[in-house]
Amino acid sequence: MTTNDTTTEAVETQGEPQAHGSFAALMVGSIGVVYGDIGTSPLYAFREAVHAASHGGPPTRAIVLGVLSLIVWSLIIVVTAKYVQLLLRADNNGEGGSLSLMALGQRALGRRSIVLLVLGIVGGAMFIGDSMITPAISVLSAVEGLKLAAPALKDYVVPLTILILVALFAVQSRGTAMVAAAFGPVMIVWFATLALLGLSHISDDPGVLYALNPYYAVQFLLTHGVVGLITMGAVFLVVTGGEALYADLGHFGRKPIVLAWLWVVFPC
């Protein structure tokens, strides 16, 4: 072994812990940036879906299990299968997003396509529209919990939501790295809280685990007709923010985003 080989091996060996540390940082950062939206979507999606299915009345056990099953399988099909297993592999030199996908499609065709251009513009417009309404809905849904804990604070829900949104966008202007460092640990605590609360209440009625069976989702759709279709529209709110997995691909890379979903976010 030459001196150069020995030096190279030593440098690589010294760099291994740093590489692991960088990967862990990217994974934590992706939890804070990529999954901040989809991590709060179930707050309002479940409530709205059950409300739509029960016409504002008291929900039945069949409705709860049906809606829960629809939510679980929407996450599995749309996020895990579509984004994690399929779309994240279709990167454009490590970059993601609607316009990157459009450029990738044009490169595959070997020419410019008006159809792909229009689809890229529509995809970008939908992403911008989602980016405008989703933060307000997510933060408002989270802050509305104050009304349950302290009804006297109900008049402060909207002002507090505006204050939080202004603070979030003020921090966001400092760049993705700043947001990731600030919100990564916060979102880990959030997901851990969801997991602990869920596990603690499963013992109240272990039958809730039947929702993992897609039979209840299919049965719900077949027996509720038009109402089932309307409810499905509300259920789909649970995957809002899923597009961030692909849009932020260039910031964190595929592996940290995938492992963060499979190991942390989805189980919680």
Query: Mind listing the pLDDT tens digit for each residue in 64-94?
Result: 999 999 999 999 999 999 999 998 998 888 8
With cut-offs at 50, 70 and 90, classify the pLDDT of residue 1.
Answer: very low
Q: State residue 139's pLDDT score.
A: 83
State which of 148-152, 216-220, 248-252 shows the largest mean pLDDT: 216-220
What pLDDT sits at residue 11? Answer: 34
d(CA 219, CA 203): 25
> What are the contacts of 168-175 at 24+ separation with CB within 8 A?
168/135, 168/139
Q: Give the mean pLDDT of 20-42.
A: 84
Distance CA 245, CA 240 (A): 11
Q: What's the confidence (pLDDT) of residue 13?
A: 37
What value does the mean pLDDT take over residues 133-149? Answer: 79
Q: What are the phi and psi torsion angles at 92 (to 5°)?
A: -110, 90
Question: For 182-215, how does the pLDDT look when each residue is reduced to its tens digit (9 = 90+)?
Answer: 889 999 999 999 999 999 999 899 999 999 999 9
Q: State the average pLDDT for the chain.
A: 84
Buried b (16+ CB within 10 A) or exposed e, 122-151: ebeeebeeeeeebbebbbbbebbeeeeeee
Higher local confidence (pLDDT), 223 or 44: 223
Phi, psi of 2 (to 5 degrees): -80, 170
Measure the CA–CA gap between 136 and 158, rounded to whole angstroms: 10
Contacts of 36 (CB under 8 A, 6+ apart): 138, 183, 187, 241
Note the pLDDT tens digit of each residue in 102-137: 888 888 888 888 998 899 899 888 888 877 877 787
Residues paired with 95 in a beta bridge = 92
Mean pLDDT value of segment 28-39: 88
Residue 61, classified by CB atoms within 10 Å of its CB into exposed (0-12), middle (13-18) or buried (19+), is exposed
Q: How far is CA 183 from the centre of its chain?
A: 14
Confidence (pLDDT) at 18: 40
pTM for this model (two decimals)? 0.80
Greater pLDDT, 83 or 179: 83
